[in-house]
Amino acid sequence: MHLLPLRTRLKDSTHDAHTALERELDLLNPALRLPDYCDLLARFYAYYLPLEASLQRTADRQLMAGRWKCTALADDLRSLGMSSTELRSIAPAATPPLRSVADAVGALYVVEGSTLGGMILARHFFARFGLTSRCGLAFFTCYGERTGEMWQRYLASLAAYDNPRDADRVVAAAVSTFESLAAWLPLPAEPLGAATHNINESERLAAR
């Protein structure tokens, strides 16, 4: 029997995978170029497509209200030069199966937790590339000023699953989601899909 609160178990169980993923991606690296950023968004999109399809089948609808992110990713990719044809050609990634509401809650720990760091990254990419919430940063700024509120709402939902039947499933799903993200997100030698990412400075400024 686990005596630790579910939130603590989630944090402890995913710490190593979370740290390894941040180190591998190294998104604050000054060597990161705009095409690299575009490829990263494409890989997020490929991952979120099947993940959100699974969440639609398993997650609590009330908890999921306002949390869908594929549209924001698609908007970012289009604003950075990807055509609708190229967007449709992106093949979905392999994501862990979600078979219960508890599994969905575990996957959401990873997804929703990333929005906190997303605000830091958004400020960095604004300064680095001149991107805005209307051009290239819709995903990383998806909640805007409500980021903290949305995270607290998620944390409040954990109480319903802090029981012997569900807690282990929540933790296992969070760990497997982090592990699958770590296997998928690091950028390959060749860009994902056929995007040209040919946005220029005037287009980016016009989108602000």
Task: Give which of 133, 139, 131, 127 is closest to 197, Cα–Cα.
Answer: 131
* Between 199 and 43, the higher pLDDT residue: 43
76 burial via Cβ count (<10 Å: 0-12, 13-18, 19+)? buried
- Tokens encoding 74: 């698609």
Has residue 164 got a pLDDT over 70?
Answer: yes
Domains observed in the chain: 6-23+33-206 (1.20.910.10)
Task: Output the pLDDT for position 186.
Answer: 79
Per-residue pLDDT tens for 64-100?
Answer: 999 999 999 999 999 999 999 999 999 999 999 999 9
What percent of the chain clears pLDDT 90, i.e. is strictly above it? 83
Distance from C-alpha of 27 to C-alpha of 129, rounded to nearest angstrom? 13
Task: Output the pLDDT for position 3.
Answer: 64
DSSP, collapsed to helix, strand or coil, labels residue 87 as helix
Task: Give which of 155, 152, 147, 161 is closest to 69, Cα–Cα.
Answer: 147
Task: Output the pLDDT for position 195.
Answer: 45
Per-residue pLDDT tens for 101-116?
Answer: 999 999 999 999 999 9
Task: Give which of 71, 75, 196, 68 is closest to 135, Cα–Cα.
Answer: 75
pTM summary value = 0.88
